Amino acid sequence: MPKLDLTAIPSTNRTTYPEPYAAGMTKRSFRRLGAAGGLTDFGISHVTVEPGGMSSQRHWHSDVDEFLVMLEGEAVLVEEGGETMLRPGDCAAFPKGAANGHHIVNRSAEPCVFLAFGRSEGDCHYPDADLHWDSANNCYTRKDGTPYAAGVS
Amino acid sequence: MPKLDLTAIPSTNRTTYPEPYAAGMTKRSFRRLGAAGGLTDFGISHVTVEPGGMSSQRHWHSDVDEFLVMLEGEAVLVEEGGETMLRPGDCAAFPKGAANGHHIVNRSAEPCVFLAFGRSEGDCHYPDADLHWDSANNCYTRKDGTPYAAGVS
């Protein structure tokens, strides 16, 4: 059935970030809607961020586009050039290769919910962290290229 | 700036369907958000359907996935197996190659707004119409393969 039953799709707050970056992710959870709906062209994450939480470390992708639409609540889009409030129906686009690290921070008193679209391919850059996703070696490294220990989940 | 100013993105109700199928499309309009945001991995249409209108002819794609999320109002998802009401936050996924023709019909008294995601590639099938999108020849044909006259817009 094309309409997705969101309550039947498992929600998780797992992260593959190494410490100390994983510790900041406990207030966001997500459901993988694309996989649940049988889609393979692009991924869709249904993300909830509790008050005080953030969607991810601030990041940008070398090789894949990202798009998000806010569905419930409100949160701040933090990017290189400043901050923008996002409310239900607001959309944001992040073209591949644009060196504008971004994430969503919930400073409100209520959870926010948004959808994020994109594929998980290519390198990912984290301007605020000693962190880099090295897609050729399928691992997180420090900025000097030293791999973090694998297997954090 | 990643947040999109929807009011600055042109809205159109154009259709490339040949008659008599074009005539049914006057009550839906759309904005192309992906192009406006500089994205190329997938397309994003911000679609408004007025009361009594429909999103498209009922269709399914051979080669590309589709996904939609309702943002405002309510409308009926009509598919091969029946009908499902969609309200804000509801999501639906249409895997490529699944022969389940679908469209959105607004039977309410208010406009509905949704986002539709996917690429414009491959053949498209229309179970209720004498219509087929022939991607190899880049044209609409009747079901017997006869091309419609080109240039309807």
pLDDT at A151 over 60: no
Smallest CA–CA separation between B95 and chain A, in Å?
A: 5
pLDDT confidence tier of residue B1, bands split at 50, 70 and 90: confident
pLDDT at residue B150, rounded to an integer: 61
pLDDT at A82 over 90: yes
Select A17-141's CATH number: 2.60.120.10, 3.50.50.60, 3.30.2420.10, 2.30.40.10: 2.60.120.10
Write the single-letter amino acid at B112.
C
Nearest to A130 by CA among A149, A148, A106: A148
pLDDT at residue A150, rounded to an integer: 61
Question: Mutating which of A66, A67, A102 best tests the B interface, going by the most B Cβ atoms within 10 A?
Answer: A67
Range B23-141: architecture per CATH: Sandwich (2.60)
In chain A, the percentage of residues whose pLDDT exceeds 90 is 95
> Is residue A77 less than 8 Å (CB to CB) from chain B?
yes
In three-state secondary structure terms, A3 is strand
Q: Which positions 52-71 of A are in contact with B (Cβ < 8 Å)?
A: 64-65, 67, 69, 71
- Alpha-carbon distance A102 to A66, whole Å? 11
All structural domains of chain A with their residue ranges: 17-141
pLDDT at B152 over 60: no
Q: Describe the strand order of the beta sheet including B60-61 as a list of residue ranges.
A: B60-61, B124-126, B131-134, B139-141
Q: Which positions 103-132 of B are in contact with A (Cβ < 8 Å)?
A: 113, 115, 117-119
Smallest CA–CA separation between B79 and chain A, in Å?
A: 9
pLDDT confidence tier of residue A152, bands split at 50, 70 and 90: very low
pLDDT at residue A81, rounded to an integer: 85
ipTM for the whole complex: 0.94
> Is residue A88 less than 8 Å (CB to CB) from chain B?
yes
- pLDDT tens per residue across span B62-110: 999 999 999 999 999 999 989 999 999 999 999 999 999 999 999 999 9
pLDDT at B151 over 90: no
Cβ neighbours of A112 in B, within 8 Å:
none
pLDDT at A14 over 60: yes
- Cβ–Cβ below 8 Å for A34 and B64: no
Q: What angle do CA B59, A120, A61 make, to 5 degrees?
A: 115
Phi, psi of B62 (to 5 degrees): -70, -40
Label residue B50 exposed, middle or buried (CB < 10 Å: 0-12, 13-18, 19+). Answer: middle
Smallest CA–CA separation between B25 and chain A, in Å?
A: 23
Average per-residue pLDDT in chain A? 95
Strand positions, DSSP E, B14-129: 28-32, 43-49, 60-61, 66-72, 75-79, 82-86, 91-94, 103-105, 112-118, 124-126
Which H/E stretch holds residue A94?
strand A91-94
Minimum-distance CB partner of B33 among A4, A71, A91:
A91
Mean pLDDT over A124-150 rounds to: 94
